[in-house]
Amino acid sequence: MSDAERIRELISKMTLEEKVSQLSHASPAIERLGIPAYNWWSEGLHGVARAGLATVFPQAIGLGATFDDGFVRRVFDAVSDEARAKYNLATARDIRGQYQGLTYWTPNINIFRDPRWGRGQETYGEDPCLTERMGLAVTKGLQGEGSGGESDRLKLAACAKHYAVHSGPEKDRHTFDAVCSQKDLWETYLPAFRALAAAGVESFMGAYNRTLGEACNASKLLLKDILRGRWKFKGHVVSDCWAIKDFHDGHNITKTPEESVALAINSGCDLNCGSCYPALVPAVAQGLVEEKTIDESLTRLLETRFRLGQFDAAPGGKAQAAWDSLGAETVHSDAHVALALEAAQKSLVLLKNRNNILPIKNEKKKILVIGPAAANVHSIMGNYHGYSPRLVTILEGITAKLAEFPEITMDYHQGCMMYDENRNTGWTIGMAEQADLVIACFGLDNAMEGEEGDAIASSVKGDRDEIELPEWQLAYLRALSARGTPLVLVLTGGSPIAIPEDIAEAILFAWYPGEQGGTAVADVLFGKVSPSGKLPVTFPASTNQLPPYESYDMAGRTYRYMKDEPLWPFGFGLSYTKFRFDSVRVVESKLSSGPLCASPGTIPAPSVAATVEVAVTNAGTVDADEIVQLYVAKAKRDASDPVCSLRDFRRVSIPAGKTVTVRFALDRAAFVTVLASGEETVLPGTYRIIAGEAAPLPVSVAKGAAAPVSAEVTAE
């Protein structure tokens, strides 16, 4: 009997109440039908979260900074191994609670459009291309692409969230209407979601907010027209948690729970994370919902559970998948810890290195490690994290590294508080005068930014009013700098932090680097590893450069539309060597003008339009990785068009003194223009293909990036 036949048989035997019980995230067992209890809510943003022991990888924004989707795929192969192993262990003991299932509500592929958003750390940055590539890597790593032996079987079920046009403000997310133009919708907010739908992501999660007047979890435009219609999505849709309740309590688009649940399920929201869907029973009695609609949603949910193999052991089930044998030895294995270290090393971004003060050399000197982030585990974990017995803070990482540097001695003091301006310790500033080098560890932690309710030190429910370093931290840092001792600044956080660039001789941005973050920071500071991370988000010079937070208009936002000069540009990051971009050569061009898709907004067929080769030389003395970034810009653009757009990238290892040639095949979509109507088309004209190590803005070279090179192609 096929899965479809078994699902139809199960549903035919259920009462209405039993059917409805399976549409909430905590689905009870139906023992008479052999349906086990199942909790749909599990988290895996950067490792299995909230479920006990797990490997804690760098936060998503740090994984974005690696610009290495092949490596991120390996990370999530490991995450899904641990998730499957923990599920096997739990179900063997008949434990089926929250965070112990196989449906993982990740990745977050929202665009980090405004650095004040506390949950921006959960994303892969501000760029649609980078977000799409990272989202695809995460999805493939989680779902396993049928590698368990059955082509239709899933290792885990991934979830594209939060659909759509969602990025704060956190305090208003239960009432807010995100209004954007059709151009911004299709040019910025939807591309990653479309890519994951095309790649077979198993579920979508609706956002809390409204978009263009409709609640996202009941949007005719988003769910019916685009997701099910144009994109032909076959998986299931889940609401964000208690978002259905917002229909009548926040958005005021319905008056009763029955009206809310009817609106949601009639629009295609299959699963309710929350407590509202039991109201479907009276909603059917009131004629607001047809039972066949409930059957359709239940069918999609059972299809997911069957694809996860939860019914394979039952009579008529399929052969056991390979990952069903994963056990405790998989969770937080030495190999996964090593992978977490490599991920952290690749994520660190060197923003400044005056007079090559880094790496630190093994010579007689005294180092002062100081600052509220140095010994703070909350500065390495980020939100939605797991739990590890091997959390290495920055202080611990530096201390361990000194065993290899016997000429160096060290002192440490916290110096000032992370988020309490009234408890600075002024006398500790004098400790800088007794040192030969100060390593100052400042920035943010997960109590200062994050999701509403989690960031307990935030006065605006996880967001930030200002992107500057907290004023008491900055005052303390200025006082340290004024003592004249060379200062290396290590900043932690999940979002851009505006600081005076002259505050330190060197600046290293560490994000929330995960359980091995302290070791990775020390590896970079002391030269074991050359830094190779790149900024996945623009660092504005000040809050004053930002458009109103509540506005979803992309004008003035991100490197693609920003007019002001940022503090540091998208894609930027220094190395301990110097790279030179020698040339970009168009090997073949067959770019044609015209609409991108046969029908507007559908999934375009792949079509290589230009093949290019980029020659890059490591002109320094250190073997290192470089991120070759490829951008496309129209030679003649309208004011509303992006200045340029990242269209491909690749991490390559280049030995000192050597040149490598990297080949890229650019799809026709790389040259698309989104019109005011939302229609996507390749316009006739000339396009510049630009290769470099940062977004090709004037400020990039001024900050130390290699000069970009370019070539042209023409669409007839």
Which residue numbers are catalytic?
A: 240, 449
How many Cβ atoms sit within 10 Å of the Cβ of residue 356?
Answer: 9
Is the bond into 315 cis (omega within 30 degrees of 0)?
Answer: no
- Are the C-beta atoms of residues 269 and 223 closer than 8 Å to each other? yes
Q: How far apart are CA 450 and CA 111, in angstroms?
A: 15
Is the torsion defined by CA of 304, 305, 308, 309 positive or negative? negative
- Locate tokens 């949950």: which residue? 119
CA-CA distance, 12 to 633, in Å (whole number)? 56
**CA 256 from centroid of its chain's CA atoms:** 35
CA nearest neighbour of 83 among 162, 152, 141: 141
Cβ(413)–Cβ(421) below 8 Å: no
**Count of other CB atoms within 10 angstroms of residue 665:** 14
Tokens of 288: 């607001």
Contact 329, 321 (CB under 8 A): no
Lookup result for tokens 């290195």: 353
Residues 687 and 584: beta-carbon distance below 8 Å:
no
> Is 597 within 8 Å of 603 (Cβ atoms)?
yes
Residue with tokens 């110097």: 578
Residue 151 φ then ψ, to 5°: -60, -25
DSSP label of 403: G
CA dist., res. 172 & res. 174, Å (int)? 6
Q: How far apart are CA 135 and CA 191, in angstroms?
A: 11
What three-state secondary structure class fits 573?
Answer: coil
Peptide bond into 332 cis (omega under 30): no
First-to-final CA distance of the chain: 54
H helices of 93-120, where? none
- 416: tokens are 């000032």
What is the distance between the alpha carbons of residues 383 and 512, in angstroms, rounded to a whole number? 9
Q: Tokens standing for 346?
A: 């690749």
Closest CA to 363 of 402, 412, 411: 402
Instruction: Characterise 254 by phi-psi region: left (phi > 0), alpha (psi -120 to 50), beta (else).
Output: beta
What per-residue string of b and e applies to 112-139 under the rule 16 or more CB within 10 Å gives b?
Answer: bbbbbbbbbbbbbbbbbbbbbbbbbbbb
36 three-class SS: coil
